[in-house]
A = this chain, B = another copy of it.
Amino acid sequence: MQLDKDSILAANGSLHNHEADFNHLAEKLSRSHTDVEALVKKIADFQVAVPSWALGAGGTRFGRFSFHGEPATLEQKIADVGILHALTQTAGAVSLHIPWDVPTDYAAVKQIADQNGIVFDAINSNTFQDQPGAKLSYKHGSLANTDEAIRAQAVEHNHEVVRIGEKLGSKSLTVWLADGTSFPGQRSFQKALAQTEKSCKEIYAGMPDDWSLLIEYKPYEPNFYSTVIMDWGTSFMLANACGERAYTLVDLGHHLPNSNIEQVVATLMAKGKLGGFHFNDSKYGDDDLTVGSIKPYALFLIFNELVYGMEHNPQNPDLAWMIDASHNVKDPLEDLIQSLEAIQEAYAKALLVDQKALAAAQLNHDVVQCQEILQGAYRTDVRPLLERARLSRGGALDPLGAYRTLRVREGLIGERGKHTVATGL
């Protein structure tokens, strides 16, 4: 199933209210000398990768409730991303997970991606599960394992993932390392760290010269006492040890309670070491909820640092953006539409922050005014800007509404049947 521009156009219907809203807002913003056209252009250009595993229903350790019309093949997953991109015009990339998504026919897969306007962003390895027929088990760790043969198997898996990614046009490898312990004493912290550093260097050495290594961190889960790469400091240390194309990747859900994530982002960008970013939201742990569904102001504050860094930190690379959420009680595609909208919204609001006025207020220690500036941007209803950005690229005025009007899920069920199950968790 592929959505064509005409049907989206038809679903959009009258633009009358949009025009009125946009014009009112544009006039308002112009008063403060905002270049509205440039703003819309920036929003329209912002693209986020969708991970292939986010297109099916997720679950918890207590089970999983089924969902209908899930994509059963890599081709179907890319088609799903294509639907999202057609509607939102902001999901122009897919992020694969190996071994769940090993292509059988590379040419065919690339063709489908091309047809849908989708490129292949960072590719992900998996050493946190045993694959059927695997020679050695990762039960007690992979890159940090005490056993050299297991570490070698895990390093080689990462190299294989890079080779697959190369054929598809990816330029970066994301390593999320679940290695850690569930009980005190289970493993030597120092040795686990040293072995992880060694394994990361081996992975890095085996990558092409134009590839980046993105090192994710996480404090806990699936290990419940310690994780080898537990925080940004550890990831940053490892990235420095690997080399200049190794970077830290921040996942919003991978932090201890009350962490100030925006400060982490600012620190990493100042040091030129923020390589990737995974979006989701959470209240308790790594809850993987829809982006912006719990703490939208925190997301805005983080985007405020991201925008600042993108404008002022040439030492930092372009970021690999990805949604990393899980969908238990919503239609995955609807959930992703909501996430994409929340990301665009936070980005647009961050772009509205008057950085010069903010810097001046900071210099004057005018704390009240600093807050006024941030909240002035945040309180602005930017939905007309997002609409305009989507329309400018042939997308939907209201992606969720169009998804329902066009009966996309029903179409997918018709094509695929009810009881397919996507590969993944």
Using a CB–CB distance below 8 Å, which chain A residues touch chain B? 17, 20-21, 24, 28, 31, 58-63, 65, 128-130, 137-140, 146, 178, 181-191, 193-194, 219-222, 224-226, 230-234, 236-237, 256-260, 262-263, 266-267, 269-271, 282-285, 287, 289-290, 292-298, 301, 304-305, 308-309, 312-313, 328-331, 334-335, 338, 345, 358-359, 362-363, 365, 367-368, 370-375, 378-381, 383, 400, 425
The answer, among B178, B224, B358, for a CB contact under 8 Å with A289, is B224
- Chain B residues contacting A258 (CB-CB under 8 Å) are 219-220, 256-257, 283-284
- Chain B residues contacting A267 (CB-CB under 8 Å) are 189-190, 193, 233-234, 237
The answer, among B189, B285, B359, for a CB contact under 8 Å with A263, is B189
Are B371 and A184 touching (Cβ within 8 A)? yes
A211, chain B: closest CB distance, angstroms: 25
Are A425 and B329 touching (Cβ within 8 A)? no
How far is it, in angstroms, between the C-alpha of A363 and the C-alpha of B146 when the chains are bound? 6
Are B224 and A287 touching (Cβ within 8 A)? yes
- Chain B residues contacting A225 (CB-CB under 8 Å) are 260, 283, 289, 294
Closest B residue by C-beta to A24:
B24
Question: Given known contacts A63-B128, A263-B230, A284-B285, is B367 in contact with A186 (CB within 8 Å)?
Answer: yes
A140, chain B: closest CB distance, angstroms: 4
Identify 20 new A-B residue pairs, CB closer than 8 A, beyond the known A17-B28, A63-B425, A290-B371: A58-B61, A60-B61, A60-B221, A63-B130, A140-B365, A184-B370, A186-B362, A189-B263, A190-B266, A190-B312, A193-B266, A193-B270, A230-B263, A233-B236, A256-B259, A258-B283, A295-B298, A297-B297, A330-B367, A338-B371
The answer, among B20, B65, B285, B363, for a CB contact under 8 Å with A139, is B65
Are A266 and B189 touching (Cβ within 8 A)? yes
Are A226 and B185 touching (Cβ within 8 A)? no
Of A31, A266, A271, A359, chain B has the most CB atoms within 10 Å of the CB of A266
Question: Given known contacts A189-B267, A380-B381, is B371 in contact with A219 (CB within 8 Å)?
Answer: no
A156, chain B: closest CB distance, angstroms: 20
Are A400 and B368 touching (Cβ within 8 A)? yes
How far is it, in angstroms, between the C-alpha of A284 and the C-alpha of B330 when the chains are bound? 27
The answer, among B224, B236, B372, for a CB contact under 8 Å with A284, is B224
Closest B residue by C-beta to A335:
B368
**8 intermolecular pairs with C-beta atoms under 8 Å apart:** A62-B129, A183-B367, A185-B373, A188-B359, A190-B313, A257-B258, A338-B371, A368-B400
How far is it, in angstroms, between the C-alpha of A380 and the C-alpha of B139 when the chains are bound? 32
How far is it, in angstroms, between the C-alpha of A128 and the C-alpha of B365 when the chains are bound? 17
Are B283 and A65 touching (Cβ within 8 A)? no
How far is it, in angstroms, between the C-alpha of A21 and the C-alpha of B28 when the chains are bound? 9
Are B62 and A183 touching (Cβ within 8 A)? no
Question: Given known contacts A128-B62, A230-B260, A258-B284, is B383 in contact with A379 (CB within 8 Å)?
Answer: yes
